[in-house]
Amino acid sequence: MRRLRLGLVGAGRRAQAHVQSILALDDRFELVAVCDINPAAAQAIGVRTGASAHGDVDDFFRAGRLDAVDIVTPPDAHHVIAKAAADYGVPMLIETPIAPTRQMAELIIEAAARAKVPLEVGENVWRWPAERLARQVLQSGAIGRVLRAYCLYVTGGYHAMNLLRTYLDYAEPRTVSAHVRRYAVEPYDFNGAHHDDETWTAATIDFAGGATAIHECTSSWSSPVRQAVPRFFAAHGTKGTLVSQGGQLEVSVVTDGKLVRHRSETTWVAGNTGRTPQQLRLGPPFDLVYENPFAAVVEHHPDLWRGGEDEVARADELNSLYRAVADGVAPEYGGRNGYRDEELVVAMNESGLAGGAPVTFPLAAITKWEEATHAAFGRAYGVDPLRDVDRARRVLFSVYGARVPAPSQAPVRA
Ligand SMILES: NC(=O)c1ccc[n+]([C@@H]2O[C@H](COP(=O)([O-])OP(=O)(O)OC[C@H]3O[C@@H](n4cnc5c(N)ncnc54)[C@H](O)[C@@H]3O)[C@@H](O)[C@H]2O)c1
């Protein structure tokens, strides 16, 4: 197997999990260079892995002789670093979301297409083992035609949009109605920042073919006040119901006039520090199986993000990048799917700004919320997100970013 020379841009919190995955896939990747505008962060990973450390993106690309790059910077920086990667002709994997607005996402897609380099988006939710099995259940017709998909998720509207679109077989959205509210909440600190409010979003999305998606999330998922909120995914079909919770599925269907509930079963493989799902199975009458192709290389690390299932997803997305570069196959998700997820987030925010009024597709070339986000980007970083994209390479971007909540009024206080 050919080993690719991989570079990593962004050496913050999420990058620690990526490094774990890259090292686990050492038959496919050699991490040769790491870049962070904070040189100490790059050096820490460099010392751990032997990769060369860089504080400047251009130096990194010039020195690296890279076959591919993994972009794990804050979302506001994705299009900036991706444009640099395309300029240097380097295939890329970009963390989620692809970009905060459609215009920034389009810039990435166009730059990669011009440079003829593969572009993959690290959307992880549909790659979790339970969701791979859920997709098989839905495709098998076990619960009939899906009428409604539900996603009560703790964070990242784009993750929810990926999940809902997967449950609805990537149907085209027609209208989005969203209530977006800001509330003052018990203050808390997370990722080095102080927070004293939350943005809550509740949306219904109508799709071509008549299915509807229902979504709810809060921005304060990391607050102790919200940490106990479970995530809940479900599909209501014409013949039955699929519920996905805690990495397990329950499929309920009526058989001989009686409700029968079928639960998935997981077999685990033990690692040095924990366990990883090896196989998820839904028994008779469905007989569907998800085999984890990475069971031998990834382990459950309880200190890292979502543990086992997310490690499988990260290995999966890195493998998609690998296959795109080494074998010339199309990236499994690709820039356009990342764009589609974020487009729905834009539509939810636009509807939120309009007090919940439905927003219809196709969206306007640029929405009010996108204009406000670009203006906030300019205020936060002193550069225009689209016109100054090359100059922005030397900006220190923040993970909380320039995204504006919608509606943009002051939060509701008790
Ligand atoms: N898929 C998921 O479940 C998931 C989970 C967490 C984070 N993420 C994504 O991962 C990305 C990184 O998030 P994080 O929590 O690690 O953020 P972070 O702030 O901890 O790390 C970002 C790093 O990027 C660096 N950086 C900023 N501007 C730069 C520039 N111009 N050039 C080079 N480096 C620059 C910062 O110095 C920092 O070290 C974000 O896109 C986030 O949305 C995804």
Q: Report, as an integer, the average pLDDT of 326-351.
A: 97
CB 51 within 8 A of CB 29: no
Q: Report, as an integer, the average pLDDT of 116-127.
A: 97
- Is position 383 within any domain? no
Binned at pLDDT 50, 70 and 90, residue 289 comes out as very high
Domain of 109: which CATH number? 3.40.50.720
Q: pLDDT tens digits, residue range 56-65?
A: 999 999 998 9
Claim to verify: residue 140 and residue 235 sit in the same structural domain: yes
Claim to verify: residue 164 and residue 297 sit in the same structural domain: yes
Domain of 190: which CATH number? 3.30.360.10
Closest CA to 12 of 44, 49, 54, 56: 44
The domain total for the chain is 2
Residue minimizing CA distance to atom 39 of ligand 1? 12
CA of 399 to the centre of ligand 1 (A): 6
Please state, rounded to an integer, the average pLDDT across all residues of the chain: 92
Claim to verify: residue 114 and residue 151 sit in the same structural domain: no
Q: Tokens 């073919």 — which residue?
A: 209
Claim to verify: residue 147 and residue 95 sit in the same structural domain: no
Q: pLDDT tens digits, residue range 214-247?
A: 999 988 877 888 888 888 999 999 999 999 998 8
Claim to verify: residue 163 and residue 245 sit in the same structural domain: yes
User: In the 8-state DSSP scheme, what is residue 412?
Assistant: B
First to last CA, the chain: 60
What is the predicted pLDDT for the residue at 197? 87
- Is position 382 within any domain? no
Question: Domain span at residue 11?
Answer: 4-123+328-334
- Is position 356 within any domain? no
- Is position 174 within any domain? yes
Q: Report, as an integer, the average pLDDT of 86-107.
A: 98
- Is position 30 within any domain? yes
Determine the residue type at 9: V
Q: What is the 3-state secondary structure (H, E, C) of 18-63?
A: HHHHHHHCCCCEEEEEEECCCHHHHHHHHHHHCCEEECCHHHHHHH
Q: Which atom of ligand 1 is closest in space to residue 124's alpha carbon?
A: 1
Claim to verify: residue 8 and residue 132 sit in the same structural domain: no
Q: pLDDT tens digits, residue range 144-189?
A: 999 999 999 877 799 999 999 999 999 999 999 999 998 888 898 8
Closest CA to 271 of 291, 307, 304, 298: 298
Claim to verify: residue 183 and residue 89 sit in the same structural domain: no
Q: Is the pLDDT of residue 1 over 50?
A: yes
Claim to verify: residue 106 and residue 133 sit in the same structural domain: no
What is the predicted pLDDT for the residue at 305? 46
pTM: 0.96
What is the predicted pLDDT for the residue at 57? 98
Q: Report, as an integer, the average pLDDT of 118-132.
A: 96
Residue minimizing CA distance to atom 18 of ligand 1? 12
Top pLDDT among 389 and 413 is at 389
Claim to verify: residue 269 and residue 186 sit in the same structural domain: yes
Q: Which atom of ligand 1 is closest in space to residue 75's alpha carbon?
A: 41
Distance CA 74, CA 76 (A): 6
Last residue of a domain, one of 317, 334, 351: 334
User: In the 8-state DSSP scheme, what is residue 211?
Assistant: -
Claim to verify: residue 203 and residue 232 sit in the same structural domain: yes
Q: Is the pLDDT of residue 285 over 60?
A: yes
Claim to verify: residue 202 and residue 177 sit in the same structural domain: yes
CA of 96 to the centre of ligand 1 (A): 10
Closest CA to 86 of 76, 106, 102, 101: 106
Claim to verify: residue 242 and residue 277 sit in the same structural domain: yes
What is the predicted pLDDT for the residue at 229? 83
CA of 10 to the centre of ligand 1 (A): 6
Q: Which atom of ligand 1 is closest in space to residue 396's alpha carbon?
A: 28
- Is position 396 within any domain? no
